[in-house]
Amino acid sequence: MSERKLDGKVAIVTGGGAGLGAECARSLAAHGARVAVVDIHLAGAQSVVAEIQAAGGEAVAIQTDLTSEAEVVAMVSAVVQAYGQIDVLHNNAAALDPAQRAGDRDVCNVDIAAWDRAMNVNARGAMLCCKHTIPYMLKTGGGSIIFATSGFGLLGDVTLTAYAASKAALMALARSVAAQYGKQGIRSNAIMIGFVVNEHAQKGVPEEIKQLLLDQHLTPQLGSPRQIADVVSFLASDESSFITGAVIPVDGGFTSHSPSMVPMREFFARMGSNKL
Ligand SMILES: NC(=O)c1ccc[n+]([C@@H]2O[C@H](COP(=O)([O-])OP(=O)(O)OC[C@H]3O[C@@H](n4cnc5c(N)ncnc54)[C@H](O)[C@@H]3O)[C@@H](O)[C@H]2O)c1
């Protein structure tokens, strides 16, 4: 893929102050985009902006709580004020802190505040960003919108009920936006992310769970933030101009195989053959 494929473009990355969003912001900027790094935590966004500027890129930090429509409106107008246009929106932010995860369990035990927060930040927040960004994209002939989703949004699992429902909502939202504004030049895609080892995953996820997840990925390793950021930069760019309305797995094959694959692999290993 070519370098500096985003020269002249302006990108918003929500939740850009940490984790995958931070890496996406760095990648978009390295490809030439001017980037608004948007996060509820200003210090994180500012440190990502400082890194981008130190590398010769252009970026601005904007503190925004995506659950507030007024703050989203103010954020979008601050970006337009700073850079004059918006070409790319990466809806990356999600409520994923330990307190949120602790409250987001199976349906009978899900904490209602955790359900509401997942919906408000992950799904409603992305919708608000689309609602207030799209009119600016339409003025300049279009743009690219990307949604960070997860295998949880596609497949049933034993916990993170609210997170899963919010991620499924984003897949629908990505397709709605693609259908509604495609003819006016807006592309909209979701990426379905596998397990990516970043700062919080390193700290918060036990080794046993990481190994269990690695067994279900078809790649030798779990994902890295750069592997996600590369796809986001591609989807942001005109190199992906015929891709829209898609939910693209960027998950090391996690959602591609039979549920019986891992026990089957272990069975065959015990038998010393894969003859059925
Ligand atoms: N890391 C993974 O393995 C993985 C797997 C599948 C999907 N994803 C998705 O990728 C995205 C990034 O995940 P991550 O692991 O980097 O998470 P992270 O927790 O490291 O980053 C999320 C960011 O969102 C911000 N945020 C939270 N609430 C906000 C609000 N109300 N307003 C504005 N910003 C807010 C946080 O401050 C944080 O900077 C998420 O959408 C997540 O669901 C990640």
Mean pLDDT of the chain: 97
Closest CA to 128 of 64, 33, 42, 197: 64
Closest CA to 31 of 190, 237, 187, 241: 237
CATH number at residue 161: 3.40.50.720
With a 6 Å cutoff on the Cβ, whether 148 touches ligand 1 is yes
Q: Tell whether 2 is covered by a domain.
A: no
Q: Tell whether 276 is covered by a domain.
A: no
With a 6 Å cutoff on the Cβ, whether 153 touches ligand 1 is no
Length of the chain: 276
For residue 240, the 8-state DSSP code is G
163 is a catalytic site residue: yes
Separation of alpha carbons 260 and 226, rounded Å: 30
Select from 193, 231, 235 the residue to mutate for testing ligand 1; criterion: most ligand atoms less than 8 Å from CB.
193
pLDDT digits (tens, 9 = 90+) for 159-169: 999 999 999 99
Q: How far is the CA of 90 from the centre of ligand 1 (A)?
A: 12
Look at residue 1 and tell me whether its pLDDT is greater than 60: no
Count of CB atoms within 10 A of residue 211's CB? 10
Residue 191: C-alpha distances to residues 28, 175, 245 (Å): 16, 12, 11
Q: Angle at Cα 145 formed by Cα 247 and Cα 87, nearest 5°? A: 155
Predicted TM-score (pTM) of the model is 0.98
Q: Tell whether 221 is covered by a domain.
A: yes
Q: What's residue 205's pLDDT?
A: 87
With a 6 Å cutoff on the Cβ, whether 65 touches ligand 1 is yes
Q: How far is the CA of 96 from the centre of ligand 1 (A)?
A: 6
Ligand 1, atom 2: closest residue by C-alpha:
196
Average pLDDT of span 123-146: 99
Q: Tell whether 1 is covered by a domain.
A: no
With a 6 Å cutoff on the Cβ, whether 39 touches ligand 1 is yes
Q: Tell whether 33 is covered by a domain.
A: yes
Q: Tell whether 238 is covered by a domain.
A: yes
Q: How far is the CA of 153 from the centre of ligand 1 (A)?
A: 15
- One-letter identity of residue 41: H
How many structural domains comprise the chain? 1
Ligand 1, atom 18: closest residue by C-alpha:
19
Q: Tell whether 5 is covered by a domain.
A: no
Separation of alpha carbons 82 and 217, rounded Å: 42
65 backbone dihedrals φ, ψ, rounded to 5°:
-95, 115
Q: What's residue 201's pLDDT?
A: 62
Q: What's residue 213's pLDDT?
A: 96
Q: Tell whether 235 is covered by a domain.
A: yes
Find the domain containing 260 and state its range.
Answer: 10-271
pLDDT digits (tens, 9 = 90+) for 225-252: 999 999 999 999 999 999 999 999 999 9
